[in-house]
Chain A
């Protein structure tokens, strides 16, 4: 028994004219009612609340479920809905997906409804499960060890900046290969497994202070699953080195 989020009335009484005009491009109409629906598409009012579109997708899905094409339809429609996504919140997008899957598996109505109403805003698209997170360690210029979990595909620069790690003066050019402030030192094994370095990155890296054989620019290295637990070192600045030497000298005296 399909469940309708927020839909108080019987689906059959919903005015037929409010379906998205992208619908005709899918499977041909199989019932007379659907044929009528398709014919009304060009006359759609363009501005309607997004939730209404959603409800009407449900309507069409309901027609199809009996033929067992529900889930694929849901995904297809979701793809077509991407242009509308700016109007629709992420939670609603997942609502549809949940709806479709429920129909397939005929899950309990109440359980689904609870999930639907308690859906919270998370990163769109898709959901990030805990398996996608990669643990990365940074040793900053003061010798502190900073640990964070990053998503696969995030560049190391994004990790440092977005997770508010205590590394300042990092990523001045915002990842456009126009500076060398995101210079990081890797351990040998990790370094060898990284993607090949581009000429542009090499040009900028050459200007970096404290260059080593295992140095790369953080904005060009993306986090991958196999990097789980890797430790990266932020190289010391010129002034840090001098300060260390001075402190060393003073302690000797």
Chain B
């Protein structure tokens, strides 16, 4: 309130009466406009101060028929810059796809830009950019019969990643229900090529559920990767609404469990989107179920509607609530819980993983 010093509200209402327009806004909205921030507040840069997110007065929970506005903590910069463009050009020249572009990730500028340590992270999407399932939260293209796999892709991907000199890479793929093994062999080949070229690189694979085919899971899990990831996406109660009907919670948890059985040293990881209408109890019970399935890492992010054909956002979870879930996750015993509105499955995956590993090693040494 101290920002609006010396601005009498009397003059505002006087102007209104002068023009004889009473407007159609309700009384409280009018008051908000009169007593709320004016141009000076925006220009001075005070409103971008993160500590004022608690003051955000917009609606965070969707009522029937309305569409929520994007709260300030979800607004990101437009991706630009040398690193971003370099990555984009390399990807196109090698005919590679990234889920960053296909799924319209809001962090693309930040991850590809490289951040303060200049380590660009990109999540390469194998087996093309067209999926055989249509989930209601995902904007990746869908087709009944996507184009056939490129047999050179494992080799090209390994070559590109080796060129970039990354320390940590995330490989993901679309669902390929049209292939007999769901694309597991293609996936495994890519990991093997990668490890051949650079044995020290850390590889994380974010796999589909292969329709529950555990042999395919085994193929990928024993290819030499370090982290096996598969997203459950949401709480069990909302699985039918959010995901394709061919996917479900039990199948996904089975995949994660089996990966650990086949390769005991591997680290398993999963991810949940918040804001689709789940309750706190549902989220907590889901986290417990995942911990019981011996999942090591968990990421929680805010669901954002990619296009008008997808589900509307039911609720925008505040950053404070995300911090609360992070604490809950750590208390439940996950290796790490990455939780934030813009956190995605592979957001700063390398940083979290390595930081965690380094810290654990330190505590062991002590």
B-binding residues in A (CB < 8 A): 142, 144, 161, 164, 166, 168-174, 176-181, 200, 207-209, 237-239, 242
Known: A142-B65, A209-B245. A179 touches B277 (CB 8 A): no
Q: Mark B330-364, 1 if CB is under 8 A from A, else 0.
A: 00000000000000000000000000000000000
Contact A239 B241 (CB under 8 A): yes
Contact A166 B65 (CB under 8 A): yes
In the complex, B308 has a CB within 8 A of chain A: yes
Write out the residue numbers on chain B whose beta carbons fall within 8 Å of the beta carbon of A164.
308
Write out the residue numbers on chain B whose beta carbons fall within 8 Å of the beta carbon of A209.
240-241, 245
Known: A237-B240, A239-B241. A168 touches B142 (CB 8 A): no
| 12 residue pairs from A and B, CB less than 8 Å apart | A169-B241, A172-B135, A173-B133, A174-B141, A178-B131, A178-B134, A179-B135, A200-B144, A207-B245, A238-B238, A238-B241, A239-B240
Contact A170 B142 (CB under 8 A): no
Contact B311 A168 (CB under 8 A): yes
Write out the residue numbers on chain B whose beta carbons fall within 8 Å of the beta carbon of A179.
133-136, 142, 244
Write out the residue numbers on chain A whose beta carbons fall within 8 Å of the beta carbon of B237.
238-239, 242
Please indicate which of the listed interface residues A142, A168, A180, A207 has the most CB atoms of chain B within 10 Å of its own CB.
A168
Write out the residue numbers on chain A whose beta carbons fall within 8 Å of the beta carbon of B132.
178
In the complex, B327 has a CB within 8 A of chain A: no
Contact B134 A173 (CB under 8 A): yes
Known: A166-B65, A181-B134. A174 touches B245 (CB 8 A): no
> In the assembled complex, how far is the CB of residue B268 from the closest CB belonging to chain A, in whole angstroms?
27
Write out the residue numbers on chain B whose beta carbons fall within 8 Å of the beta carbon of A170.
309
Write out the residue numbers on chain B whose beta carbons fall within 8 Å of the beta carbon of A239.
237-238, 240-241, 277
> In the assembled complex, how far is the CB of residue B107 from the closest CB belonging to chain A, in whole angstroms?
23
A-binding residues in B (CB < 8 A): 64-65, 131-136, 138, 141-144, 237-238, 240-241, 244-246, 277, 305, 308-312
Determine the main DSSP class of B at the interface with A. Answer: loop
Q: How far is the CA of A174 from the CA of B238 in the complex (A)?
A: 22
Apart from the given pairs A169-B241, A209-B245, A238-B238, 10 other A-B contacts in the complex at a CB distance below 8 Å = A142-B65, A168-B310, A169-B309, A174-B142, A176-B134, A178-B144, A179-B133, A238-B237, A239-B277, A242-B237
Contact A173 B142 (CB under 8 A): yes
Q: Give 5 nearest A-B pairs by CB, closest first.
A: A179-B134, A173-B134, A173-B142, A172-B134, A207-B245
Q: How far is the CA of A177 from the CA of B244 in the complex (A)?
A: 12
Q: How far is the CA of A164 from the CA of B308 in the complex (A)?
A: 8
Write out the residue numbers on chain A whose beta carbons fall within 8 Å of the beta carbon of B134.
172-174, 176, 178-179, 181
Residue of A nearest to B314 (CB): A239
Write out the residue numbers on chain A whose beta carbons fall within 8 Å of the beta carbon of B141.
174
Q: How far is the CA of A168 from the CA of B311 in the complex (A)?
A: 5
> In the assembled complex, how far is the CB of residue B138 from the closest CB belonging to chain A, in whole angstroms?
8
> In the assembled complex, how far is the CB of residue A200 from the closest CB belonging to chain B, in whole angstroms?
7
Write out the residue numbers on chain B whose beta carbons fall within 8 Å of the beta carbon of A242.
237
Q: How far is the CA of A144 from the CA of B64 in the complex (A)?
A: 10
Q: How far is the CA of A209 from the CA of B244 in the complex (A)?
A: 11
Contact B144 A169 (CB under 8 A): no
Pick the contact of B309: A144, A171, A207, A238 (CB < 8 A): A171
Q: How far is the CA of A24 from the CA of B96 in the complex (A)?
A: 48
Contact B240 A178 (CB under 8 A): no
Q: How far is the CA of A209 from the CA of B239 in the complex (A)?
A: 12
Q: How far is the CA of A166 from the CA of B308 in the complex (A)?
A: 9
Contact A178 B136 (CB under 8 A): no
Q: How far is the CA of A168 from the CA of B65 in the complex (A)?
A: 10
Write out the residue numbers on chain A whose beta carbons fall within 8 Å of the beta carbon of B246.
207
Q: How far is the CA of A207 from the CA of B134 in the complex (A)?
A: 12
Residue of A nearest to B239 (CB): A238
Write out the residue numbers on chain B whose beta carbons fall within 8 Å of the beta carbon of A166.
65
Known: A161-B308, A239-B238. A172 touches B142 (CB 8 A): yes
> In the assembled complex, how far is the CB of residue B141 from the closest CB belonging to chain A, in whole angstroms?
7
Contact A238 B240 (CB under 8 A): yes
Residue of B nearest to A165 (CB): B308
Contact B65 A172 (CB under 8 A): no
> In the assembled complex, how far is the CB of residue A207 from the closest CB belonging to chain B, in whole angstroms?
4
Contact B136 A181 (CB under 8 A): yes
Contact B143 A208 (CB under 8 A): no
Residue of B nearest to A173 (CB): B134
Contact B241 A144 (CB under 8 A): no
Write out the residue numbers on chain B whose beta carbons fall within 8 Å of the beta carbon of A142.
64-65
> In the assembled complex, how far is the CB of residue B127 from the closest CB belonging to chain A, in whole angstroms?
15
> In the assembled complex, how far is the CB of residue B209 from the closest CB belonging to chain A, in whole angstroms?
15
Q: How far is the CA of A172 from the CA of B246 in the complex (A)?
A: 14
Q: How far is the CA of A237 from the CA of B311 in the complex (A)?
A: 12
Write out the residue numbers on chain A whose beta carbons fall within 8 Å of the beta carbon of B135.
172, 179
